[in-house]
Amino acid sequence: GDSVTQMEGPVTLSEEAFLTINCTYTATGYPSLFWYVQYPGEGLQLLLKATKADDKGSNKGFEATYRKETTSFHLEKGSVQVSDSAVYFCALAHQAGTALIFGKGTTLSVSS
Amino acid sequence: KAGVTQTPRYLIKTRGQQVTLSCSPISGHRSVSWYQQTPGQGLQFLFEYFSETQRNKGNFPGRFSGRQFSNSRSEMNVSTLELGDSALYLCASSLGSATQSGNTIYFGEGSWLTVV
């Protein structure tokens, strides 16, 4: 079945460091790919998405490119801030009527 | 524009009891989905409702059920609660079906259920 695999956390960085959180997926066809972020005590917020191969999603300095050849959707940010500390979830969804399938989540902790 | 609203935010129940959680989607959204989040299993899809009809269902026992009303508000019910049902239950809404390309899925803040 479909699945999403994220790098294990926690990821600990200093402010202004470069961030990469790896995400790979297994799915038939051409799913849409998403990154969601969850701040402590809150629900999920959509960070960015891509709906077809080679699409780049971007928001708030975060970027991710849909790579069909490597089945990956890695999240990157050039300079993290303390306020970016949260749990990040990679997810996929098919157009055919299945729900969001999430990875286990990666905890990011940024210190000043 | 109000977001997805879930009530109650926190609740404690005893094993064997049942619980009903409520979700009000964003105005105009017709699709409501429910997810369970636990430290061990992560985020798992429960079911999706669209225009009062269940469209998709995850791999959960029959103790978990839901419904959607004509105003798109949704409820989920868990009967005969078990300790393992302790979790954050998240509701999400979108304009069309949650899986249609281009639809953005918005999540509520969740209902924290503790079963003792």
Q: What tokens does B33 get?
A: 């989905």
Phi and psi at residue A107, in whole multiples of 5°? Answer: -85, 125
Q: How far is CA B28 from CA A1, A60, B47, in A?
A: 33, 27, 20
- Asked whether B88 and B41 are in contact (CB, 8 A), the reply is no
Burial of residue A7 (number of CB atoms within 10 Å: 0-12, 13-18, 19+): middle
pLDDT value at residue B96: 73
Digit-coded pLDDT (tens) for A7-25: 888 999 999 999 999 999 9
- Asked whether B25 and B74 are in contact (CB, 8 A), the reply is yes
- Asked whether B33 and B48 are in contact (CB, 8 A), the reply is yes
* CB atoms B108 and A94 under 8 Å: no
Computed over every residue of chain A, the mean pLDDT equals: 92
Of the candidates B90, B97, B98, the beta carbon closest to that of A43 is on B90
**In one letter, which amino acid is B85?**
D
Going by their DSSP bridges, the two strands B10-13 and B111-115 should be labelled as parallel
List of chain A residues whose C-beta atoms are within 8 Å of the C-beta of residue B107: 36, 43-45
Give me the residues paired with residue A87 across strands.
A38, A107
Task: Report the alpha-carbon distance of residue B1 to residue B103 in Å, rounded.
Answer: 17
pLDDT value at residue B99: 55
pLDDT in single tens digits along all 116 residues of chain B: 579 999 999 999 999 999 999 999 999 998 899 999 998 889 999 999 998 999 889 999 999 999 999 999 999 999 999 999 999 999 999 887 655 656 678 899 999 999 99
Q: Give CA A75 to chain center in angstroms.
A: 5
Task: Report the alpha-carbon distance of residue A112 to residue A4 in Å, rounded.
Answer: 31
Q: How far away is chain A from the Cα of B55, in angstroms, using its nearest Cα? A: 8
* CB atoms B101 and A32 under 8 Å: yes
